[in-house]
Amino acid sequence: MKQKYLIVLIAMLFSACGNKSKTFVPERLLTEPEMINVMTDVQIIEADINYQKTQEREQNDSVKPQPKDFVKMSKDYYSQLFERYGITDSIFSQNIRYYTERPAVLEKIMDSVVQRLKREQTTSSTQ
């Protein structure tokens, strides 16, 4: 829940620092449902990377596994994400900018993401 508010806060900061005219439109505008799907996957990716970082830090000192390259892991995850949705990192960034300039819409998207993640967590915990 805190992460949702952090993303919205960052988005609002970007919009406050950006151009006040609301004329920017990405070369490929993702619809709100598409953006919900993408941002849900982004949250899952970030959670997985953070979990793996925590696991690596908590490893027993006697076991010295090869450290993971989290930058490469992140790039690989995002490459798969972009391929899955048929977008590029540039299109993703442009859409983040577009929705950041529309904080009410972004908040609605992020609320939907949080609700979806809660449903998925509930469903996976009951199986």
pTM (two decimals) = 0.76
How much is the pLDDT for 18? Answer: 52
The single residue listed with the structure tokens 């469903």 is 123
63 within domain boundaries:
no
pLDDT digits (tens, 9 = 90+) for 75-116: 999 999 999 999 999 999 999 999 999 999 999 999 999 999
41 within domain boundaries:
yes
How far does the chain reach from its first CA to its final CA, in angstroms? 23
19 within domain boundaries:
no
**Which range of residues forms the domain containing residue 74?**
2-13+28-55+70-122
60 within domain boundaries:
no
| Banded model confidence at residue 64, pLDDT cuts 50, 70, 90 | low
18 within domain boundaries:
no
Query: What is the domain count for the chain?
Result: 1
64 within domain boundaries:
no
Cβ neighbours around 50 below 10 Å, total: 12
User: Is pLDDT above 70 for 9?
Assistant: no
